Structure 1
Amino acid sequence: MTLINPNQQPDFLSVVEKQMQLTEAQGMAIRGLVDGIKQMHLDVTEKVEEVQMMVQEVRDSVTLTDAECYQLQDAVRTRSITLTKDRYKETDGKFNETVGKYRRMIWSKLKVLFSVAKYSHIRRIDFDDSIYFVKEFRPEDYI
């Protein structure tokens, strides 16, 4: 059995104290690292949100595609013919004149509704609303 020499005890305590100081220093370093990572995460999250908002702004300002313009034209064409058929027979001399009148009225009211000079400048996010407007258009609401 080995006995501990009383003269060796201070060395043992100093080693333990030194180890405790190192552990505390490591803890502080790790705490600083964790705090830095948390701040980086907050910064990145903020930047991602900024980029998402900017992307949404761009998406919101993009105007109709050619395919959407064609669909809108087709909806106006169909609606103007349907409105005219409700009032005149296709053999009536006023049929084509009335189709044109309704078509112009729909285009005019559509551009006013979406505050654009040309229907092709309607924003893509408003496409569904523009189609709905055309399909539900009633000239009586504007006369």
Structure 2
Amino acid sequence: MTLINSNQPDFLSVVERQMQLTEAQGQAIRGLVDGIRQMQMDVTEKVEEVQMMVQEVRDSVTLTDNECYQLQSLVRIKSNVLTKDRYKETEEKFKVVVGRYRRMIWSKLKERFEVAKYSHVRRIDFEDAVEFIKEFRPEDHI
């Protein structure tokens, strides 16, 4: 009596074939995981590039109309205060001195922020521009 039937496949060859299929599946999965890792790194790199570009755009955006109006108001107020504190003559002379202070403030503001027009001050510098005007003293710029 024979234990192995000639019509049945060899048990060892079936196991070996199954092992080969499992190894091939493992390699395919490993390749898939490596591909996903690379895609993840590429996406992360692209996201960082986009974030840097967005920040560059944000940093280069200039003042809004409202912010320009606020600076104009501050310069108007500051020039009037400076004139009242330092000049006590006729109304006609008062206007001349106010005008000189306004021109000086605008000139020094543009110089400080390196712009040709005050409206070209970057939005990220708006608070600094407000502080510059509030703290402006002509003596510091003569």
TM-score when normalising by structure 1: 0.88
- Per the alignment, residue 86 of structure 1 pairs with 85
Instruction: Map 1:86-105 to 2 at 5 A.
Output: 86-89=85-88, 93-105=92-104
- Per the alignment, residue 68 of structure 1 pairs with 67
Deviations 1:6-41 (A, max 9, x none): 568971111111111111110100000000000011
Aligned CA RMSD, in angstroms, stands at 2.1
Which consecutive unaligned segments of at least 5 residues does structure 2 have? none
Deviation of the 1:128 alpha carbon:
1.0
Q: Distance in 2 between matches of 1:95 and 1:33?
A: 79
Deviation of the 1:5 alpha carbon:
2.4
Which consecutive unaligned segments of at least 5 residues does structure 1 have? none
How many residues are aligned here?
A: 140
- Per the alignment, residue 114 of structure 1 pairs with 113
Deviation of the 1:54 alpha carbon:
1.1
Deviation of the 1:50 alpha carbon:
1.0
Deviations 1:26-82 (A, max 9, x none): 010000000000001111111111111111111111111101100111111111111
- Per the alignment, residue 142 of structure 1 pairs with 141
- Per the alignment, residue 3 of structure 2 pairs with 5
Which segment drifts farther, 46-55 or 4-13? 4-13
